[in-house]
Amino acid sequence: MNKPMRFKMKRIVLTGLIGASVCLSAAAESSVWKVQKDDSVIYLGGTVHLLRPSDLPLPAEFDAAYRLADLLVFETDVAALQSPQTRQKLMAGALYADGSTIDRHLSAETYGLLAEYCADNGVPVDSFKRFRPPMVAVSLVMMELMKAGVTSEGVELNFHRRAGQDSKACKFLETVDEQINCLLEMGKGNEDALIAYTIRDIKKTEACFNDIIAAWKAGDADRLHTLMNQELREMPGLYNQLLVERNRKWLPNIEAFQATPQKELILVGAAHLVGPDGLLETLRQKGCRIEKVEAAPPAE
Report the C-alpha gap between 49 and 147 in whole angstroms: 17
Give the per-residue pLDDT at 32: 97
Residue 291, SS3 per DSSP:
strand
Give the per-residue pLDDT at 263: 96
CB 32 within 8 A of CB 64: yes
Give the per-residue pLDDT at 198: 85
Residues of the chain falling short of pLDDT 50: 1-12, 20-28, 297-300
Give the per-residue pLDDT at 15: 56
Give the per-residue pLDDT at 1: 45
User: Which run of H or E residues covers position 94?
Assistant: helix 84-94
Q: Where are the domains of the chain?
A: 3-292
Bridge partners, residue 266, by sequence = 44, 73
89-120 pLDDT, tens digit each: 999 999 999 999 999 999 999 999 999 999 99
Report the C-alpha gap between 81 and 129 in whole angstroms: 25
Q: DSSP secondary-structure letter at 51?
A: B
CB 47 within 8 A of CB 267: yes
Q: Shortest CA distance to 259 belongs to which of 38, 32, 34?
A: 38
Give the per-residue pLDDT at 23: 30
CB 136 within 8 A of CB 128: yes
Secondary structure (H, E, C), 159-204: HHHHHHHHCCEEEECCCHHHHHHHHHCCCCCCHHHHHHHHHHCHHH
SS3 content of the chain, % helix, strand, coil (to 5): 55, 10, 30
Residue 131, SS3 per DSSP:
strand
Residue 290, SS3 per DSSP:
strand
Number of neighbours of residue 54 by Cβ within 10 angstroms: 7
35-73 pLDDT, tens digit each: 999 999 999 999 998 899 999 999 999 999 999 999 999
